[in-house]
Chains A and B, each alone.
Chain A
């Protein structure tokens, strides 16, 4: 295990006081889905159990449909690398209410810890900046986590913040895996 930011504490901070803010949350498959659930399962969470590479675009569809809400995508480096093409699409669409938090441990944590490209030079915040995101941050120190959280919760979107987290594997805390249940409870919580 290498030093790095605590992913569960970061996720808890990202989701703090979410009810008052009406925050809508999408998580990429694997550890980010467990992380948002560990912070407290919630009907306005949509954790993916598959569809790798799709989290940011689920977030874009939601952000464009619900401009009255802040939308936060919490995902991993491997998932966002697979969905890299979403970044120019989102940069061009320019949703002011969409933020992406990448919990970047530089590894595929669910499959045995194989290295991803973010450990070999790819900086997803720099990619997002090059795609026209007005707000991008790369957070490497625990003291800077609050600034990253603030950007995700309130800065002009689209926002992408990379949190360089430790590559430990916390306990599994799994959300419901029934897709229609996840969809319907989300819509019901929005009054749809």
Chain B
């Protein structure tokens, strides 16, 4: 779908929920993929792609939204189209409390910087939302965005990450010897 939308360059910081997509993009000869060290690099890379006549996208987990927020401002300031696909953590069923603050704030944070935020809450909704976001970002139609469009893919779509070690509760440190 992303290559059908004319996307030429995709940067990513991996997430478990993105694994299959990353593998498929890597096998697509029409798309260059770049493994980013941190998410904000991907935003700047999309600006470079647009300058050269390409179309950029960034894949990230919701915690990565916070890592790229100053750079995201450039999309609106320079009116650069870009697609952000964000797999959510910190929602219902999250087993890791450290994922909750940024997960809960990701959508509002992007909106505060002027990003057009859409949400896909079921797996059936994902293809249509992503296709519509690509069309609105790059198609130049009446819904065209003045900057980036983000599709937040609900944690319910990806599934909750398990931390079950198969060994029951962690040992009490005081009892270690």
A positions within 8 Å CB-CB of B: 24, 26, 46, 48, 50-66, 69, 83, 85-86, 88-89, 92-93, 179-180, 182-183, 186-187, 190, 192
Contacts and interface: CB of A to CB of B under 8 A. Distances in A.
Contacts of A180: 78-79
Contact of B70 (A52, A59, A62, A92): A52
A89 B34 contact: yes
Interface in B26-46: 32, 34-38, 40-46
Nearest to B37: A85
B44 A57 contact: yes
A183 B35 contact: no
Interface residues of B, number: 32
B25 interface: no
B16 interface: no
Nearest to A46: B51
A57 B41 contact: yes
Main secondary structure of the interface of A (DSSP, over half): helix
A50 B43 CA distance: 13
A62 B48 contact: yes
B35 A61 contact: no
A75 B115 CA distance: 27
Contact of B53 (A46, A65, A182): A65
A183 B45 contact: no
Contacts of A83: 41
Given A57-B44, A58-B47, A89-B37, A50 B77 contact: yes
Contact of B51 (A55, A57, A85, A187): A187
B32 A64 contact: yes
B63 to A, nearest CB: 16
A182 B78 contact: yes
Contact of B8 (A65, A69, A187): A65
